[in-house]
Amino acid sequence: MTRINKEVDTRIIIMADGHSSRWVRPFLGELEKRLTVDRGSTALKPRRLFNAFRSATKNKLTRFGLPHSKHLLTVGGETLLYRQVRLAKKHGADEVYIASSFPEHETLGAHRYTPTNNIYEIDRFLCSSELWNNEGTTTYLYGDVYYSENAIRMILNAKTNEAIFFGRAPCSDDQYAFNNELYALKFAPDFHEELAKHIYHVRNAFINGQINRCIGWDLLRSLTGTLHSDINETKHLLYQQIISINDETTDFDTAPEYRTFLLKTGLKP
């Protein structure tokens, strides 16, 4: 069992379970058939559902043609996870947790926390809420992101009494950008209840078919009161709400993105 110290100033949680609501839905119908608890029942045990889901989607985690997930891609001789842990500790994080069901994500300097009921992408926040810091800030990082040292410094040094998002808004002169992305969420202990309310709001809207995804951007949409608005009409409001990181920081969704990044930066794997 993971031992959790509630009295720290700065806690980092790196999300590294590796699935996405953008492609989860096609698998769920078949999984429900396979995981029926008893004949004629549609009740599911959440842990069994997740384990089968992880198995069914294994190819998504190894789509770089490697025998491991993209969180273990290397840049400059260190994995993405290890780089995040190292830089977070260097710039003041008291504790670092990696929220992952995969033993191979054990990383020096961090505690691995095994989440439960982690089905939809938005669940990555709720399923690790036990780790939310009651005395100081909690910061979520994305395990598939290469963070510049400046980005980690900016995130760790930022102050908030509520919640703040960090990310990349469209920027025409950004040579590294592949797309607009969210890179971090940081929030204060007094905001726990409000944040949980909005996470459930997004989750329920997705389950009820009111929205077609439930990712970090949708949490930001909920917090800004635009979840059910036309995203093309309101996305400029979202971009105004994030602290912009426009440098070599980027996530990797495909092998070509990874190769292109290495070529542009001149960094070695």
Q: Find, among 185, 194, 189, the residue nearest to 132 by Cα.
A: 189
Of 119, 100, 124, nearest to 110 by C-alpha is 100
**Residues 191/165/200/129 CA torsion (nearest 10 deg):** -60
Higher pLDDT, 158 or 120: 158
CATH number of 10-263: 3.90.550.10
Nearby residues of 173 by Cβ (< 8 Å), 6 or more positions away: none
Question: From the CB of residue 9, how many other CB atoms can be counted at a distance below 10 Å?
Answer: 12
- Residues facing residue 96 across a β-bridge: 12
Q: Quote the pLDDT of residue 224.
A: 94
Grade residue 180 by pLDDT with cuts at 50, 70 and 90: confident
Give the model's pLDDT for residue 265.
93
Phi, psi (rounded to 5 degrees) for 88: -65, -45
Confidence of residue 256 (pLDDT cuts 50, 70, 90): confident
Q: Would you call 20 exposed, middle or buried from its count of C-beta atoms within 10 A (0-12, 13-18, 19+)?
A: middle
Give the pLDDT confidence of 41-85 residue by residue, as tens digits.
444 455 555 555 455 444 444 555 665 788 999 999 999 999 999
* pLDDT value at residue 20: 42
Give the domain ranges of the chain.
Answer: 10-263
pLDDT higher at 120 or 173: 120
